Amino acid sequence: MLRRNGLLSWVLVAALCPQLAAAQVNYKSTLPDGRVVYGDKPAPGAVRVEEVKGAPSKGVSVVTPKEAATLKQREAAGVDREAGNARLRAAEQALKKAEAAQAAGKEPGEGDRIGTVSGAQRFSDAYWARQKRLAEEYEAARANYERALREANNPASGTVNPSGGTPGSASGKPPRGQ
């Protein structure tokens, strides 16, 4: 008798389980950033909430074509943002290097001074040519940095830095402050 009651109770539980699962109400909540969250309660701050009958499969979420397109756009924007930030870091390093070279190049080296008839000294033409070249290299590096900064802060790419500067810097000015 006990064996038959045990078997009968298992059959009864097996018959009722699908009905219990089907009666369960879940919520599909769309958050402001576009993420979709499933749960037994609506997510706080959700922009849109829908009732979903039955429990969604664990580990599997239903993605609409619109959600998939949005995800691809965000992934592409993230790749573009990372590439822009890498260009900005490289431009900043090049600017710092050009600035250091310009500062080091101001110190006259051997052969940079020429004696004059009156016994004084003046800088040679090679010294002034080097100063001009270093200044041009610095200006080119600064222009490249500013272009990379504008690209990184382009609102169309979604990478506006609140400070207006480089990621990790306090201002949008080149390191030299010019």
Residue 178 confidence class, pLDDT cut points 50, 70, 90: very low
Would the pLDDT of 129 be above 50?
yes
Stretch 80-84: mean pLDDT, rounded?
88
Average pLDDT along the chain = 78
Instruction: Tell me the average pLDDT across 48-63.
Output: 72
- Residue 41: per-residue pLDDT: 87
- The Cα-based distances of 168 to 2, 89, 115 in angstroms read 73, 10, 49
Quick one: 107 exposed, middle or buried, by C-beta within 10 A (0-12, 13-18, 19+)? exposed
* pLDDT average, residue stretch 93-103: 95
The pLDDT of residue 168 is above 70 = no
The residue ranges of every structural domain in the chain are 22-56, 76-157
Question: Which residues, listed in sequence order, are joined to residue 52 by a DSSP beta bridge?
Answer: 26
Residue 5 in this model has a pLDDT that exceeds 90: no
